[in-house]
Amino acid sequence: MPTTCPATISELVTTAAETAAPPGRDLRHYIRVAGSHRRTGAASVGLEMERAFIEYARAATLIVETIPTHRDYQGGLSTEQKRNLKAVGLPPLSR
């Protein structure tokens, strides 16, 4: 049975970046997708570490790059959503 080498960090980052968030979607869509990637990453830890890395990288990209630059980021979220986003590392929301 042939063995395969684990992917390099560079290869994993490239794979994670291949499914960039489509522009123009609703802010809540990006939040849901980021949550889905985070949950999939958590479920993959201990089973398939490469998949976990890719899913966490996709979630992080949405949380750090896509969501804060969205047109509705400042005014389109409830107090609870703002608190939840802050808990996962987004900068504080200001009006």
pLDDT tens figures, 30-43: 988 998 999 999 99
In a domain, 10, yes or no: no
65-93 average pLDDT score: 74
- What mean pLDDT, rounded, does the chain reach? 82
Give the pLDDT score at 89. Answer: 60
Decide if 63 is inside a domain.
yes
The pLDDT score that the predictor gives to residue 54 is 93
Supply 32's token pair: 């849901």
Q: Output the CA torsion sign for 77, 78, 84, 90.
A: positive
Structural domain of 71 = 25-87
Contacts with 84 (C-beta within 8 Å, 6 or more apart), sequence order: none
Residue 36 placed within a domain: yes
CB 76 within 8 A of CB 27: yes
Q: Which residues have a Cβ under 8 Å from the Cβ of 58 and sit 6 or more positions away?
A: 16, 19, 34, 37
**Tally of structural domains, the chain:** 1
pTM confidence score: 0.76
Tokens standing for 90?
Answer: 């987004």
Q: Which residues contact 82 (CB under 8 A, 6 or more apart)?
A: 93
Q: Answer whether residue 93 shows pLDDT above 70.
A: no
